Amino acid sequence: PEGLTSIGQVAFGSCQHFASIDIPASVKSIGNGAFQYCSNITEIIFRGTTQPTTLGTSIFSSSVPTNGVLLYPNGDATSFEGVVSQVPSSWINANGMCGTSAYYRISKPSKTSYQLSIFGQGKVDSNPWLSDGSKITSISIGEGITGIGQAMLGGMPKITSITFPSTLTSLDANVLDRSYDVKELVFQSVTPPTIPSSWLNMGANWTGEIVCPLAGFNNYKNSKLLQWLQGNWSVSTGGQWGGNL
């Protein structure tokens, strides 16, 4: 419960019925092996803005399943590195979910760098990072993401380039609403994503470049995507695909 400040050594060891652990923000210390041999845990949630000040060794031990989720909804990945190192590398570690099977993670590697990573599977249909949108300086969207919902990448004025995975098949209306400094959209699929007629709504003076694979150049050049980018946008294959066309 909230108000608990410390979890002692082996406090919950061998609790085989635990499937999820929810650790309140008030916890500042976790002892050695606090949850060791809890072999059915597949979800761990830390509610604090940073990890507990004191972390013991082998808190979860090697007995936890190889697949699970570590969540820190009120913090960022940089502030939970010690906790991340104590769960299997195969676990998902994220701030939270942004779709049925999609996750997001915010990292702050420096005072001026604020990185948003989107990964998992399927469509992104919520943007819990919206309140931090003005701080985000870069976006990474992983393979497996197939769609981006309406305005999901909006309100991020510091973003200048976005790379979409080869698995992307659709972009919803106004997906970049109020992300006014985007000048480059990189698509890794040879087939442009499907878009609605009101896709961007960015204004007549918006200019930039679509970068696509060489084999998809004509597809993007003649696509609805280019037509609805309101402004002087061009299509390029970029250096990694053999130069501009």
Strand, coil or helix: what is 22? strand
Question: What tens digit of pLDDT does each residue of 157-167 get?
Answer: 999 999 999 99
- With 0.85 as the threshold, say if the pTM is over it: yes
Whether the CB-CB separation of 44 and 23 falls below 8 Å is answered with: yes
User: Please, what's the b/e burial string for 180-207 (b: 16 or more CB within 10 A of its CB; e: otherwise)?
Assistant: bebebbbbbbebbbebeeebbbbeeebe
**Which tokens in the block code for residue 30?**
């976790």
Helices (DSSP H) in 58-162: which residue ranges?
81-84
Question: What tens digit of pLDDT does each residue of 50-78 get?
Answer: 999 999 999 987 778 999 999 999 999 99
**Which tokens in the block code for residue 109?**
């590697």
Position 204 scores a pLDDT of: 41
- CA 192 to CA 221: how far, in whole Å? 10
